[in-house]
Amino acid sequence: MGRRWLPEAAKPARGYATSRAVTRGNLWRLPRSHQAGSIPGEPSPFRRRMASASASGAPAAAEVLRRRRIISSRLYLDDIRAPRSVTRPRSPPPLQPRFAAVGRNNRAPFAQAPVKWGHVRGFLEDAGLLQSDRIVEPLEASEDDLLLVHSESYLNSLKSSEEVARIVEVPAVALLPNLLVQQKLLYPFRKQVGGSVLSAKLALERGWAINIGGGHHCSAEEGGGFCAYADISLCIHFAFVCLNISRVMIIDLDAHQGNGHEKDFGGDGRVYTLDMYNSGIYPFDHVAKKYIDQKVELDSGTKTEDYLENLDKALNVTCS
């Protein structure tokens, strides 16, 4: 009898720039064509979009401001000195990161996710699969960094403990002083944003990198599903400006639909989204579904063998 499966524990496919992987973390592995820069023969949607935006002036000015914020950001840790080599274990483990950009494990009664991700790091270290000199701690995303995607009104809404409680789906958070919510919950989330942004740079430099943390339900104007910041969207905007990348593929293998990044990049020809998720659970976002380039909807109880077969078929489509 095959193993019963809820599609949360899928293993990411090899050779793609992936934004959702095991442990709800972010894994980036760029194919050679993307590592070299733009794809030969492909038009540049970004150039066309900038040309059309210049007609009105305001969108072009917004793009200029976004680029300035990205260039002045410190999230890429340009002075980082990390080893290039990796000692491979005798048997390949499920995760073999050369670099892991991880946030701090800030333990709080309601912050279950940061604790979980800290346990993942501890498990890999205890098992000898991850060495401490291959761990890079990212910086916290600043307000200027977050304004690349989010509006001031959205960021101001996070100063309400009631709003944060809605986003993280923990009613008790509404009773806490917002200063405590900022320090014990939103600060770790902002560190995870820094990890997602940094992981793309390290992947391009070293082959691949994993950020243990992050989320995919938050869009530019709305948080939800325990996701307060749109770290995937920020990561991609940084990559477009600083890493000479013209196109990105998001392979989202979390059990839930990744409605946040789907709404942020809906209609953007530079971003291709493959989302494979359980159609019978949160978030049921039918608006975001329209922006998925290739969606694979599964049912609860899907067997591992059936899941992997569906994944192989979907990846074959993306490569064709």
pTM above threshold 0.75:
no
Residue 70, pLDDT > 50, answer: yes
pLDDT recorded at residue 53:
44
Using alpha carbons, select from 315, 304, 308 the residue that is nearest to residue 3: 304
Active-site residue flag, 217: yes
Q: What is the mean pLDDT of the chain?
A: 78
Residue 82, pLDDT > 50, answer: no
pLDDT recorded at residue 77:
87
| Of 34, 216, 217, 261, catalytic | 217
pLDDT recorded at residue 131:
86
* Interval 130-151: pLDDT, tens: 888 888 989 999 999 999 999 9
Confidence of residue 129 (pLDDT cuts 50, 70, 90): confident
DSSP for 28-58, written as a single string: EE--HHHHTSSPTT---HHHHHHHHHTTTSH
Cβ proximity of 77 and 145 under 8 Å: no
- The structural domains of the chain, with segments of one domain joined by +, span 22-77+94-319
pLDDT recorded at residue 256:
97
Topology of domain 22-77+94-319, CATH? Arginase; Chain A (3.40.800)
294 CB-contact burial (10 Å; exposed 0-12 / middle 13-18 / buried 19+): middle
Specify which residues 211 forms β-bridges with: 26, 101
* Interval 223-270: pLDDT, tens: 999 999 999 999 999 999 999 899 999 999 999 999 999 999 998 999
Stretch 9-36: mean pLDDT: 38
